[in-house]
Amino acid sequence: MDYDVIVVGGGLVGVSIAWGLSKCGQRVAIVDEGDLANRAARANFGLVWSSSKGLGSAAYSRWSRTSTANWHQLAAELKAETGIDTGFVQSGGFSIRLTPTELERGIASMAKLAGQPGMDAEGTPPLQYEILDQAETRRRLPLVGETVAGAIFSPLDGHANPLRLFAGFHKALKQRGVHYFPHRKTTAIRHHAGAFEVTGEGWRLGAGKVVLAAGVGNTALAPMLGLSVPLLPSRGQIIVTERLKPFLSHATGYLRQTDEGSVLIGESKEATIDHQRPRGPITAVLAERALRTFPLLRNAKAVRIWAAFRVVTPDGYPIYEQSERFPGAFACACHSGVTLAANHALVLPRQISAGALSEDLSVFHSRRFHVPAAV
Amino acid sequence: MFRRLSDRNETSVSFTFNGVPTMARRGDSVAAALLAAGHCGTRQTPVSGAARGPYCMMGVCFECLVKIDGWPNRQACLTTVLEGMRVETQDGAAVPGQKE
Amino acid sequence: MIRNIQSAADLAPAYDLVVVGAGPAGLSAAVEASAHGLTVLLADENEAPGGQIYRSVERASDADLARMGPDYAAGRMLIERFRRADVSYANRATVWNVGPADEETGAGAHAIEVGISLGGIARPIAAHRVILATGALERPFPFPGWTMPGVMTAGAAQILMKSSGLVPSGRTILAGTGPLLYLLASQLLRAGVSVTAVVDTTPVENWRSALPHLLRFATSPYALKGLKLLLEVQRRTRVIRGVTALEAFGSGQFGALRVHRSNKSLHIEGDLLLLHQGIAPNLNLSLAAGCDYVWDERLAAFRPNVDGRGASSVSGVSIAGDAAGIVGAVASAHQGEFAGLSAALDLNRIGQGVYEQRRAQHAQKLARALRGRTFIDHRFRPGKTFRVPEDDGTIICRCEEITAGKLREVAALGVPGPNQMKAFTRCGMGPCQGRLCGLTAVELLAQCRGVPPGEVGYYRLRPPIKPVTLSELAALPHTEAATIAVAGFVERAHDAAQDATYGSHQ
């Protein structure tokens, strides 16, 4: 056995968990694909956001809220270990609603979300939000467009610099002596003589435990370990502008200004497009809505547009599970790797080290997708 | 730092650089006009404020960014000087919404 | 007769062929294709045709032509033919996107979509075929102080001379390697410029790899020209050879160059420093279009992978001239012409028989034009330490001000490639999109990993390859499906908004 744990996947989910495992005293290795792999980790928007999440799953709402609250600790620890400032700011987020219909829908969906049983729990920050009408939105965000109908504000939400977060984890891992192996695409995993054997072309590594954190790559690997990670295609496109002098310090749901000054504009969801080239009509709609939101961006220049694939399960909520056939094999698949980085770094690894996921994560087991059709 | 060859006889064009009246010749790019007027530094970077100026003169390096008639971050080497143009140093990142 | 496109409104929604770039390759492609009846749009960023090499040749005086030399004057004839051709010509137009037609908006007969921006308005254009003739750019030349005002490229000095009749007025130092360095020195000296020194960084050992090709070079048109230039420059200014390192100094702008030769160093004062260490294909549009590319070891640069007719890996997109690999102006014109002819064949305007005849002629012309280049490529290949600076404080990414030391620190984390390196450092994220840092970053990473640059790969590039304003993008065609993909539903005049059925992403 070369390691206590091998983490398959060097994206944000993989490195968060690996870092946490290393803090628990585990000897960890990460195997990762190459530079041009389908990396959701380099396609993050940077939101640390929970307020609007979990309609249909109070457990997910709670999981997101605790992760947001835990982010302060994550940011502090990474800064102390590596000197890298992840730029985490929790000054509240605005979910901007451009039209009265959008605002109505937002209000209805937040009410439904808040009314779900199980939203409150000891130690979990309670859901908090305010509905802002047009006038109030403009009072708080004076630069917002005249036609913006309103917003939903939550003090829980914020943003961070996702690339510095990613770089921070990698630097911390190196300092801790965690072995990172890029250009090692995992093709097979098997359990053999009391250990897991992870193999690819020309290489093989053994460990007592294995964690699948391979994003869209999880689907093919999961069945090898009695796990299941069904995913649906979901392509998102983002426009990035040139650096601009600071004008927006709050995160909004689909537009934020980074601490370097560039503005990121999202978000889109396409299920049928299988390439990563930006599409003109999507770009046009993203840009048009951004200009309705902040008209002062009219002449700001886009310097980059990219598209990437989210890691989305059939109901949109994470999969966290441990294999019944092969205890010691775990799967973690989710989008929102930035928001959840704190829980992935500070909560999950303790459970993985101890050998069992906690009971309150059982709701995220993939068996929820295997419900037989009603007779 | 640059002088005009004596056998060139294009007509003059006047513009301003940071408010100072400056002469150029018809057909000059803004970058050429600024260099001819002795300015080899024409912007401060948005990252550190370091002084930069035209480098490639062909539109690939993005060093010659200046503000032209209020429009920020224009590539001076790809813009022809026009009579009365207002050119200014690009001081760091563009201010959004400055030019409407 | 040429049709001048004055504004975006003048553009047709579709053309048989769109040519990007008005250098020798682009002009030749447009002339050839239009001669066979294809509807052709040639789009170029500059005010006038000619690209870099024939810049401003149309309005050059006899004095200018004498100064610049006969190769420059040859461009005039090509441009005259272009002006007489049945081509739509959009100058001051930026092509920021080339790629397969969009799944929704491109549902017609045209395989390719081109995004073009003219007078502050962006337009999508459909095309059956596209020829990318985006030429080359100066190789990055990173060393301490290279980013300060008063340091420019040799190409920049030529542009100033050709387009504006401007020559350096103070003490001018030229540094680097390659025939262009000596050509420029000669042009400047003839114009009465005070050329303090030509600092030659050609690695002494290049002779070894160049020698086998000497005979072919000696019998090529380059040899005599090159020899004459060299002798003229040596006679009229100080040439310093065997240079191993450079540092530029100045407070606020360039004031002096320290030149290292083995263990000695010289301090040369000056008012302007002009750099050149070869040129490399201008890759961004080709790569953003999705074209496959390869590392060319001789060139020490990436170039798109094209076949004998310039066809890339993207159906309908061809690349001609220096954009496909450095070949020089004459060969570029031949390649452009053949690419234009190939487009005519593809669109059934000529028969296979005619094509085969022309192909044979083309092969001969091209071979003649390329003769001697192998020697030049080997002889003037820039040295390793000038491609990857040893000094950690040297800026590699000018836009984001990322140093070699920072890149080495991140390389030590085991980053799998330049895109991860870009993510961790922002190197390559500035407006130049890697044009001035990409080659350096890749070779640095290759060096750190001990693998060939070809194995490291290049930045993943995407449109827009030049910045486009949000208002221009917002005015591009929307579709209902796109609105749903972004907003979740489409607003209707009546109460019930049309929802999309898609899984919750919450």
Segment A263-285 shows an average pLDDT of 95
Give yes or no: residues A138 and A275 share one domain.
Answer: no
Q: How many domains does chain B have?
A: 1
Partnered with residue B12 across adjacent β-strands are B25
Asked whether A313 and A229 are in contact (CB, 8 A), the reply is yes
Task: Report the residue count for chain C.
Answer: 506
* B-chain residues near C61 (CB < 8 A): 7-8
**Rounded to whole angstroms, how far apart are CA atoms A255 and A251?**
7
Give yes or no: residues A209 and A250 share one domain.
Answer: no
Burial class (CB in 10 A: 0-12, 13-18, 19+), C69: middle
Q: What are the residue ranges spanned by the domains of chain C? A: 3-137+280-350, 140-277, 388-456
Give which of B11, B52, B55 to mutate to test C binding, by max C Cβ within 10 Å: B55
| Domain assignment of residue B97, yes or no | no
Segment C85-103 shows an average pLDDT of 97
Contact B54 C156 (CB under 8 A): yes
Contact of A300 with chain B, judged by CB distance below 8 Å, is answered with: yes
Distance from CA of C226 to the nearest CA of A (A): 41
Which among B1, B47, B51 has CB closest to C271? B1
* A-chain residues near C482 (CB < 8 A): 268, 279, 281-282, 284-285
pLDDT 10s digits, C157-174: 999 999 999 999 999 999
Average pLDDT of chain C is 94
pLDDT 10s digits, A147-168: 999 999 999 999 999 999 999 9
In the A/B pair of chains, how many CB contacts fall below 8 A?
36
In eight-state DSSP terms, residue A131 is E
Of all residues in chain B, the one with the smallest CA distance to C139 is B56
Backbone φ, ψ for residue A310 (5° rounding): -75, 160
Which of C103, C40, C119, C72 minimizes the C-alpha distance to C479? Answer: C103
Give yes or no: residues A254 and A303 share one domain.
Answer: yes
pLDDT bucket at A50, cuts 50 / 70 / 90 = very high
Say which CATH class C388-456 falls into: mainly alpha
Average pLDDT of chain A is 95
Q: What angle do CA B27, B30, B32 make, to 5 degrees?
A: 75
Residue B36 to residues A113, A354, B32, B63, Cα–Cα distance (Å): 65, 72, 6, 17
In CATH, what number is assigned to the domain containing residue A264? 3.30.9.10
pLDDT at residue C310, rounded to an integer = 97
pLDDT at residue C73, rounded to an integer = 83
Contact of C251 with chain B, judged by CB distance below 8 Å, is answered with: no
What residues make up the domain containing A189?
A: 3-45+163-230+315-368
* A-chain residues near C433 (CB < 8 A): 303-304
In eight-state DSSP terms, residue B18 is T
Segment A217-234 shows an average pLDDT of 96
| Domain assignment of residue B82, yes or no | yes
pLDDT bucket at B99, cuts 50 / 70 / 90 = low
- Going through C262-350 in order, the beta strands assigned E by DSSP cover 264-269, 272-277, 279-281, 293-296, 301-304, 317-319
Contact of C93 with chain B, judged by CB distance below 8 Å, is answered with: no
Contact B1 C401 (CB under 8 A): no
Provide the pairing of β-strand A93-97 with A251-252.
parallel
Which among A143, A261, A294 has CB closest to B46? A261
Q: Which residue, A155, A175, A204, sits at the end of a domain?
A: A155
Segment C131-149 shows an average pLDDT of 98
- Report the SS3 class of residue A348: helix
pLDDT 10s digits, C262-274: 889 999 999 999 9
* B-chain residues near A261 (CB < 8 A): 46, 93
Residues of B in CB contact (< 8 Å) with A are 46, 71-73, 92-97, 99-100
ipTM of the prediction = 0.97
Q: Pseudo-torsion of CA C268, C272, C273, C279, nearest 10°?
A: -160
In this predicted structure, the answer to whether residue C242 has a pLDDT above a threshold of 50 is yes
At C257, which amino acid appears?
Answer: L
Q: What angle do CA C45, C426, A245 make, to 5 degrees?
A: 75
Give yes or no: residues A222 and A323 share one domain.
Answer: yes
Question: Model's pTM, two decimal places?
Answer: 0.95
pLDDT at residue C502, rounded to an integer = 37
In CATH, what number is assigned to the domain containing residue A41? 3.50.50.60
- Going through chain A in order, the beta strands assigned E by DSSP cover 3-8, 28-31, 47-48, 93-97, 130-132, 150-154, 158-159, 179-181, 188-192, 195-200, 203-212, 235-241, 251-252, 255-257, 263-265, 301-309, 319-322, 329-333
Q: How many domains does chain A have?
A: 3
Contact of B46 with chain C, judged by CB distance below 8 Å, is answered with: no
Contact B93 A299 (CB under 8 A): no
Segment A11-22 shows an average pLDDT of 97
In CATH, what number is assigned to the domain containing residue B40? 3.10.20.440
Contact B1 C167 (CB under 8 A): no
Distance from CA of C490 to the nearest CA of A (A): 10
Contact B1 C165 (CB under 8 A): no
Segment C35-61 shows an average pLDDT of 95
At C2, which amino acid appears?
Answer: I
Contact of A296 with chain C, judged by CB distance below 8 Å, is answered with: no
pLDDT 10s digits, A298-326: 999 999 999 999 999 999 999 999 999 99
pLDDT at residue C504, rounded to an integer = 37
pLDDT at residue A277, rounded to an integer = 92
Q: Which residue, A124, A155, A186, sits at the end of a domain?
A: A155
- Report the SS3 class of residue A201: coil
Tell me the fold of C140-277.
FAD/NAD(P)-binding domain (3.50.50)
Asked whether C57 and C160 are in contact (CB, 8 A), the reply is no
Give yes or no: residues A331 and A350 share one domain.
Answer: yes
pLDDT at residue C65, rounded to an integer = 84
Contact B97 A296 (CB under 8 A): yes
Can you list the alpha helix ranges (DSSP code H) found in chain A? 12-23, 58-82, 100-114, 134-140, 162-175, 218-221, 280-293, 341-346, 348-354
* B-chain residues near C394 (CB < 8 A): none
What residues make up the domain containing B27?
A: 12-90
Backbone φ, ψ for residue C33 (5° rounding): -65, -40
pLDDT 10s digits, C344-363: 999 999 999 999 999 999 99
| Domain assignment of residue B3, yes or no | no
**Rounded to whole angstroms, how far apart are CA atoms C248 and C255?**
8
Which of C371, C368, C441, C360 minimizes the C-alpha distance to C400? Answer: C441
Which among A143, A244, A295 has CB closest to B93? A244
Of all residues in chain A, the one with the smallest CA distance to C486 is A268
Contact of A285 with chain C, judged by CB distance below 8 Å, is answered with: yes
Give yes or no: residues A111 and A259 share one domain.
Answer: no
pLDDT at residue C108, rounded to an integer = 79
DSSP string of C89-105?
EE-SEEEEEEEEPPTTT
pLDDT at residue C224, rounded to an integer = 82
| Domain assignment of residue B99, yes or no | no
Distance from CA of A309 to the nearest CA of B (A): 30
At A128, which amino acid appears?
Answer: Q
Which among A282, A303, A335 has CB closest to C486? A282
Distance from CA of A306 to the nearest CA of C (A): 7
Q: Do domains C3-137+280-350 and C140-277 have the same CATH topology?
A: yes
* C-chain residues near A310 (CB < 8 A): 505
| Domain assignment of residue B2, yes or no | no
Q: Is the peptide bond before C464 cis (omega within 30 degrees of 0)?
A: yes
Contact B58 C147 (CB under 8 A): no
pLDDT 10s digits, B23-81: 999 999 999 999 999 999 999 999 999 999 999 999 999 999 999 999 999 999 999 99
- Least confident among B21-25, B83-87, C205-209, C216-220: C216-220
| Domain assignment of residue A108, yes or no | yes
Count Cβ neighbours within 10 Å for each residue of C212-243 and write b for 16 or more, e otherwise: ebbeebeebebbebbeebbeebeeebebbeeb
pLDDT at residue A375, rounded to an integer = 53
pLDDT at residue C494, rounded to an integer = 57
Of all residues in chain A, the one with the smallest CA distance to B74 is A301
Contact A281 C102 (CB under 8 A): yes
Q: Please give the CATH architecture assigned to the domain spanning C3-137+280-350.
A: 3-Layer(bba) Sandwich (3.50)
